[in-house]
Structures are given as structure tokens and as C-alpha cells.
């Protein structure tokens, strides 16, 4: 069992057992400083400093240096794929792959995702066609995908949301039958598997994000992985302005390169990856066990028989049973210094420029609308202990037990 981290944020209050002890009513907050979702996992700092020192000594800071090459090899090996193209972030990875696949016109994407998935298309003047998701998996619903295909459709982008794999086989079948390109935004799914096969090897290619807030980070970073070596070669050129050789540019390209320092962080994250996953799994089990006793709250499950990174701790709130809405609970937690996140509120289709360009999109997205209203993401990661989870769950349990009083107080505060 984990011990409380050295810099514990637990305040000195005992268990909350009366509503007036909740910070919402003026009680002492459960946490003495802010607790974030997405607090970075940090590996062995000494090892990172050694690597940084080596990079500085070599005076080779970017442009495909030895650390990036070593990082790409590790990713390739882990995903069991032929090719890895490391990038400066997950957004550029998406943009490069979309362009390299020749997607144009319309591409089908879930509306329930981080906005970057749609932006990567719109940025290249490709229309994201928003598709609804399955209420259980939160991933593209293949039956809805089929309905949205038009003569302008050139591709499908599945997102393995929360690290839970899409219905890959159904999407592959549709893409093949309708002659569409299929790629996956696997930003959440590094080190996860589907039917025993690592995410990374599905569709034409898949992209990862290694942003600071991901369970495995390179500060900023991303990668495209594929078994198609010709596609990979094209993307390597696109990542580096289209340079085939010195003075010879053969493609429209950008600057999507990962730096040596980011790759050094990535190698350091690899060293600690098993520990990151173990603490995520421990927290997932602990949260799941204790949240189960709160009426109206349910944990969005991971398939623990597959490889899983346990990065996101996702909870759905049924207001009718809990007596409080997701937004009420987020406010209760904020008062306690816990910044739970409403990912992915309000749905990409309700963000600009999509709201203006496609104002009616929500009409065919009932599940997306429901999830954006009811899902909250809670803190986890190697710096969040089971004692802290107990404190957080205790606060939520008390709030739900005294839902009418909490509701009245929230109402009073919003009218004040």
C-alpha cells in the first residue's frame, strides 16, 4: 500500500461526517493546496539530469539526434510496429498523418474527444463530420459512422478514448468496404492493448500524445506509428520541412520534430513506466471499490484483462440517483481544492469554429451530449495516494448524502 507522498496536500481535518464540515459550507478544505487532474508523472530525476548533461556535452539538440532515435526504437518495440515517427506533440502527429494519408473533403470523427482531433482536420480545411459514440465505450459507434458516409468522405478517425480501444474490427470492415482511409488518434492509449495486440498497429497508422499531462510524458511530444514503411518515409520528410537531402525539398512540410531533451524525458519515462502503470492501477482499483458505494456514481471501466495505462480516472454521475449533478459535484470538489475536470465538455461540436460552421450537429449526437453533461475526471497518477483518494471519496459521499442541503447552498452562492 502506498504511503502519503512527502509533500502531502491532505489538510489536518478528520473525516467529514456532517455537511457543515464540507468546504462549500465554510469548513476547512480537504486538501491544503490544489490537486490537479493531469499532474505529470516524473521518473528518475537523477537519470534525466545525466541524459541532459550528455545532450549538452554532445551539442546535438534536435533534428533526429541519438536520443530521438533511441526513443523511436523503444516506441516501435513496445507497440510491435515497423515504424515510429516521433513528433513535437500529438497535434502535429495528427496533422502530418492526415496529410500523408491524403485525406480531403469530409472525415468522420467522434464529437466526444479533445478538440485537437477535429482541429487537425479543420486546420487543413477538411470538414470534421461529427459522429456519435457508444454510451458504454465512449468510442465511435460504427453503425452511426456508416450513416454519415457521403461521396465526399475520405476517411475515419477513431479515438481510443480514456485508453479504451475502439471497435477496431467494425471500423476496419467499414473502411475497407467503403474505400476509406482509417487512422486512430491514440493520444490516450499508449501502452494499451486490444485483443492482446498493442495499440499502434491498427488502421493505416495511429498517433500518440506524450504531453506533460499524459501518464507517460516527454514534456511535450507525440509519435505516429505504422507498419507502412512508405507512409512513414513520407511523414519523416513532412516532419522536417520536406527535406529529402541537403537543399532538396520534395514535399510540402512543416517542423514537427521532437527535440533531444524531450526524447531524454521519454526514455526516462520508459524506465519508470511499469511503476506509473502500477500506481494508476492501484488508484483505479481503490477508487472503483469506494465509489461503488455512492448512489448515482459509477466508474467508467477499463478492461483489466488487456494491457492498460490507467491514465484517466473517469466517473459518470447520474443526477437522478445522486441528487446532485456532475457540475454540482465539480463545484463541491473545487471548494475542497480538487480541480476535477469536465472532459470533454461541452463536446467539440459546441466549440468554435464548429458551432458556427455546423450549428445543427448536436441533433445527431445524443450520447455525446449526455456524456459531456455527466462525466468528470478525477485526479490520479503516481503522486496521488490512496489516502488522498479516501479523502476525496469521503467528501463526495458526504455531499451526496446531504444532496438537498448542498444543492440549496450552491443555489444560494450562485445568486449571491
257 near ligand T4K (CB under 6 A): no
Binding test (CB under 6 A) with ligand T4K, winner from 211, 257, 326, 331: 211
Give residue 350's region: left, alpha or beta (phi > 0; psi -120 to 50).
alpha
Question: Would you say 207 or 316 has its CB closer to ligand T4K?
Answer: 207
8 Å CB contact between 392 and 385: no
SS3 315: strand
Helices (H), 292-376: 319-322, 326-335, 354-357, 366-374
Residues in contact with ligand T4K, shown as a per-residue x/- string from 181 to 200 under the rule CB under 6 A:
----x-xx------------
Phi and psi of 218, rounded to 5°?
-125, 35
**Percent helix, strand and coil across the chain, each to the nearest 5:** 45, 15, 40
8 Å CB contact between 367 and 112: yes
Q: 75: which 3 cell numbers?
A: 516506441
Residues in contact with ligand T4K, shown as a per-residue x/- string from 104 to 123 under the rule CB under 6 A:
---------xx-xx------
CA distance 405 to 86: 52
Question: Would you say 294 or 348 has its CB closer to ligand T4K?
Answer: 348
Per rule CB under 6 A, count of chain residues that contact ligand T4K: 22
Contact set for ligand T4K, span 335-364 (CB under 6 A): 339
**Rounded least distance, CB 36 to ligand T4K, Å:** 4
Binding test (CB under 6 A) with ligand T4K, winner from 21, 27, 79, 91: 91
Binding test (CB under 6 A) with ligand T4K, winner from 19, 29, 90, 200: 90
Give the CA distances from residue 403 to residues 173, 328, 337, 398, 410, in Å, rounded to whole numbers and listed in that order: 47, 10, 20, 8, 10
222 near ligand T4K (CB under 6 A): yes
8 Å CB contact between 214 and 276: no
**Rounded least distance, CB 205 to ligand T4K, Å:** 14
**Rounded least distance, CB 405 to ligand T4K, Å:** 28
**Rounded least distance, CB 323 to ligand T4K, Å:** 27
**Rounded least distance, CB 283 to ligand T4K, Å:** 16
**Rounded least distance, CB 35 to ligand T4K, Å:** 9
Give the CA distances from residue 155 to residues 145, 273, 385, in Å, rounded to whole numbers and listed in that order: 11, 33, 42
Binding test (CB under 6 A) with ligand T4K, winner from 159, 205, 340, 403: 159
Phi and psi of 121, rounded to 5°?
-85, -55
Find how far residue 290's CA is from the centre of its chain: 24
Residues in contact with ligand T4K, shown as a per-residue x/- string from 6 to 45 under the rule CB under 6 A:
------------------------------xxxxx-----
Residue number closest to ligand T4K, CB atom: 90
**Rounded least distance, CB 222 to ligand T4K, Å:** 5
8 Å CB contact between 303 and 164: yes
- Looking at the DSSP assignment, which residues form a beta bridge with residue 10? 31
2 near ligand T4K (CB under 6 A): no
Give the CA distances from residue 295 to residues 183, 193, 379, 400, in Å, rounded to whole numbers and listed in that order: 39, 32, 20, 8
Question: Would you say 37 or 191 has its CB closer to ligand T4K?
Answer: 37
Give the CA dihedral 43, 46, 50, 56, nearest 10 degrees: 80
Question: Would you say 159 or 324 has its CB closer to ligand T4K?
Answer: 159
Residues in contact with ligand T4K by the rule CB under 6 A = 36-40, 89-91, 113-114, 116-117, 159, 185, 187-188, 209, 211-213, 222, 339
Amino acid at each position: 500500500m502506498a504511503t502519503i507522498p512527502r509533500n502531502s496536500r491532505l489538510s489536518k481535518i478528520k473525516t467529514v461526517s456532517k455537511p457543515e464540515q464540507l468546504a462549500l459550507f465554510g469548513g476547512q478544505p480537504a486538501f491544503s493546496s490544489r490537486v490537479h487532474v493531469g499532474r505529470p508523472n516524473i521518473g528518475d530525476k537523477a537519470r534525466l539530469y545525466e541524459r541532459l548533461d550528455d545532450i549538452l556535452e554532445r551539442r546535438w539538440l534536435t533534428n533526429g539526434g541519438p536520443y530521438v532515435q533511441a526513443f523511436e526504437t523503444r516506441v516501435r518495440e513496445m507497440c510491435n510496429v515497423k515504424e515510429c515517427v516521433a513528433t513535437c506533440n500529438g497535434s502535429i502527429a495528427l496533422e502530418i498523418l492526415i496529410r500523408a494519408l491524403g485525406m480531403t473533403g469530409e472525415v468522420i470523427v467522434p464529437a466526444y474527444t479533445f478538440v485537437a482531433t477535429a482541429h487537425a482536420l479543420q486546420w487543413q480545411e477538411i470538414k470534421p463530420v461529427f459522429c456519435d459514440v457508444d454510451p458504454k465505450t465512449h468510442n465511435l459507434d460504427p453503425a452511426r459512422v456508416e450513416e454519415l458516409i457521403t461521396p465526399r468522405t475520405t476517411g475515419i478517425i477513431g479515438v481510443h478514448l480514456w485508453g479504451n480501444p475502439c471497435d477496431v474490427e467494425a471500423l476496419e470492415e467499414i473502411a475497407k468496404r467503403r474505400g476509406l482511409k482509417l487512422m486512430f488518434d491514440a493520444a490516450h492509449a499508449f501502452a494499451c492493448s486490444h485483443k492482446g495486440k498493442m495499440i499502434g498497429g491498427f488502421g493505416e497508422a495511429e498517433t500518440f500524445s506524450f504531453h506533460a499531462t499524459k501518464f507517460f510524458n516527454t514534456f511535450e511530444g507525440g509519435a505516429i506509428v505504422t507498419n507502412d514503411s512508405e507512409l512513414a518515409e513520407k511523414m519523416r520528410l513532412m516532419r522536417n520541412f520536406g527535406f529529402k537531402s541537403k537543399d532538396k525539398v520534395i514535399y510540402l512540410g512543416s517542423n514537427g520534430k521532437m527535440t533531444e531533451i524531450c526524447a531524454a524525458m521519454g526514455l526516462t519515462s520508459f524506465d519508470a513506466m511499469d511503476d506509473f502503470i502500477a500506481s494508476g492501477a492501484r488508484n483505479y482499483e481503490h477508487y472503483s471499490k469506494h465509489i461503488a458505494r455512492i448512489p448515482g456514481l459509477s466508474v467508467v471501466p477499463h478492461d483489466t484483462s488487456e494491457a492498460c495505462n490507467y491514465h484517466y480516472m473517469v466517473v459518470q454521475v447520474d443526477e437522478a440517483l445522486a441528487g446532485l449533478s456532475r457540475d454540482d459535484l465539480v463545484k463541491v470538489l473545487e471548494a475542497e481544492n480538487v480541480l476535477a475536470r469536465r472532459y470533454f465538455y461541452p463536446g467539440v461540436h459546441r466549440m468554435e469554429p464548429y458551432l458556427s460552421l455546423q450549428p445543427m450537429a448536436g441533433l445527431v449526437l445524443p450520447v455525446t451530449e449526455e456524456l459531456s453533461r455527466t462525466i468528470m475526471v478525477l485526479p490520479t497518477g503516481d503522486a496521488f495516494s490512496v489516502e488522498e483518494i479516501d479523502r476525496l471519496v469521503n467528501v463526495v459521499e458526504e455531499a451526496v448524502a446531504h444532496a438537498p442541503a448542498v444543492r440549496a447552498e450552491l443555489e444560494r452562492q450562485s445568486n449571491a
